Amino acid sequence: MTEEMIQRAEKTAKENMYKNVEFRLGEIENLPVKDNTIDVIISNCVINLSPDKLQTFKEAYRVLKSGGRLMVSDLVTEGVLPDDIKKSFDAWSECIAGALEKSEYLDTIKKAGFHSVEIVSQDYYNEKGIDSRIAGKILSIKVRAYK
């Protein structure tokens, strides 16, 4: 996130008269938030960019109140990505290179302490021009979990 993104989010919240939201600049692995203070966390295609996904989910768990909800939309794989794709700038910019295998992603959420982890929806990610070696192996999933 950047300061500009924070300003844009605040403007959108103000335009829509949302009074129960707050935006902060910080690192996803070390959130600038007190323990047990958040009701809901929504994340859209961000966690797969983190180099330490377990720590990211642990941070989400730490800041959520008891019974708090995590809603995540992210890319995952069916099978292991080739090494050259994992190192590709294009694949990183398309949120593919950091994607975990689906089962590992869900297990990581559980290891962080979450329960009732469930896939709400999933669709194959089939962008035009995707490398043929990974075509049909990338999924966009929406996951719900609770503290």
Residue-wise pLDDT for 51-100, tens only, equals 999 999 999 999 999 999 999 999 999 988 888 888 888 887 777 888 99
- pLDDT on residue 96: 86
Residue 73: strand, helix, or coil: strand
Domains of the chain: 1-30 (no CATH), 33-146 (3.40.50.150)
- pLDDT on residue 88: 83
Q: Predicted confidence band at 112 (pLDDT cuts at 50, 70, 90)?
A: very high
User: Can you tell me the distance from the alpha carbon of 78 to that of 62, in angstroms, rounded to the nearest whole number?
Assistant: 29
Q: Which residues contact 27 (CB under 8 A, 6 or more apart)?
A: none
Q: What is the mean pLDDT of residues 15-37?
A: 93
CB 71 within 8 A of CB 144: yes
pTM: 0.87
- pLDDT on residue 126: 76
User: Can you tell me the distance from the alpha carbon of 18 to that of 10, in angstroms, rounded to the nearest whole number?
Assistant: 9
Q: Predicted confidence band at 34 (pLDDT cuts at 50, 70, 90)?
A: very high
Q: Predicted confidence band at 133 (pLDDT cuts at 50, 70, 90)?
A: confident
